[in-house]
Amino acid sequence: MFDPFAKAPLALLMASAALIAGCGQSPITQAAVAAPRPSHMVAGASPVHPVVVELFQSQGCSSCPPANANVNAIADRADLLVLSFAVTYWDRLGWKDTFDSPKFTARQWDYAHHAARTQVYTPQVVVNGGQAIVGSNPNQLDATIAAAGPARGGPTLAAAGTTLDVAAQSDGKPSTVWLVRYDPRSREVAIQAGENGGRTLPHRHIVRELVALGSWKGAHETFQLPPAREPGLSSAVLVQQGLGGPITAARKL
């Protein structure tokens, strides 16, 4: 079991107090939650070369719904791989997130440690395993995605049935090959306690499984994709350097 407070006890306890205060201060309006916006395809991005957009959020944090809505609004774009990770550390505020996992909290901490950050926060959007923003400003979110472009620098990924081929690359750096399974449906969750108590919040592209298939060090590799643990999930694969490093290749399956 991953405990975020065991990573850096003093820094985390100080950050925790600030985060609890900050989580309750952002006003949430219906317009912020539901406002649609136009989108433009990112040059060079596609389902086989998407921009990877990861949202770290919690049903227990009152600051998350605007960022959640912004990410929901772009979830169907073919040029993006949008993933919503529910973290565990706001469960102590009175509501346990119905989709959270210690694995997802650990993933956010991997990003923090890689970037030499001493704390984590929600909401947080990480693009291609690199730049991190809050995600509550739709214009900033769109600009960050457009500037990042599709994940690049990594191997070509090919999938057939339950087999994934990762091509050889002479300058390939040690990486983890991840299988991600997420729910493409809109999931409406009635929050019964905590900061969002009494609200019903929509969720899209909620990650349900995060599986390390193995490592890749530049040679051709073949991986078998295990069956999904629940029906109706979509799948994608990521190639990511180190723990919390850049995502150099991604593909929707």
Residues whose CB falls within 8 Å of the CB of residue 227, separated by 6 or more in sequence, listed in order: 162
**Number of domains the chain contains:** 1
- Looking at the domain assignment, is residue 187 inside a domain? yes
- Looking at the domain assignment, is residue 32 inside a domain? no
pLDDT confidence band for 172 (50 / 70 / 90):
confident
What pLDDT does 7 receive? 46
Using the Cα atoms of residue 110, residue 112, residue 117 and residue 121 in order, give the sign of their dihedral: negative
Judge whether 197 and 61 are in contact, CB under 8 Å. no
DSSP alpha helices (H): ranges in the chain?
A: 9-23, 30-34, 64-73, 102-114, 138-148
pLDDT confidence band for 39 (50 / 70 / 90):
low
Structural tokens at position 45 = 């991005």
Helix axis angle for 138-148 and 64-73, nearest 10°, is 50
Structural tokens at position 33 = 């939650």
Average pLDDT over residues 166-183: 95
- Looking at the domain assignment, is residue 79 inside a domain? yes
Residues 175, 97: Cα–Cα separation, whole Å: 30
- Looking at the domain assignment, is residue 113 inside a domain? yes
Q: pLDDT tens-digit profile of 144-163?
A: 999 999 999 999 999 999 99
Average pLDDT over residues 107-115: 97
Residues 189, 42: Cα–Cα separation, whole Å: 31
What pLDDT does 11 receive? 38
- Looking at the domain assignment, is residue 177 inside a domain? yes
- Looking at the domain assignment, is residue 10 inside a domain? no
In CATH, what number is assigned to the domain containing residue 160? 3.40.30.10
Range of the domain at 243: 45-252
What pLDDT does 6 receive? 41
- Looking at the domain assignment, is residue 145 inside a domain? yes
Indicate the average pLDDT of the chain: 87
User: Which pairing describes strands 247-252 and 200-203: parallel, antiparallel, or unpaired?
Assistant: unpaired
- Looking at the domain assignment, is residue 3 inside a domain? no
Average pLDDT over residues 85-111: 96
How many other C-beta atoms can be found within 10 angstroms of the C-beta atom of residue 153? 15
Residues 127, 195: Cα–Cα separation, whole Å: 27
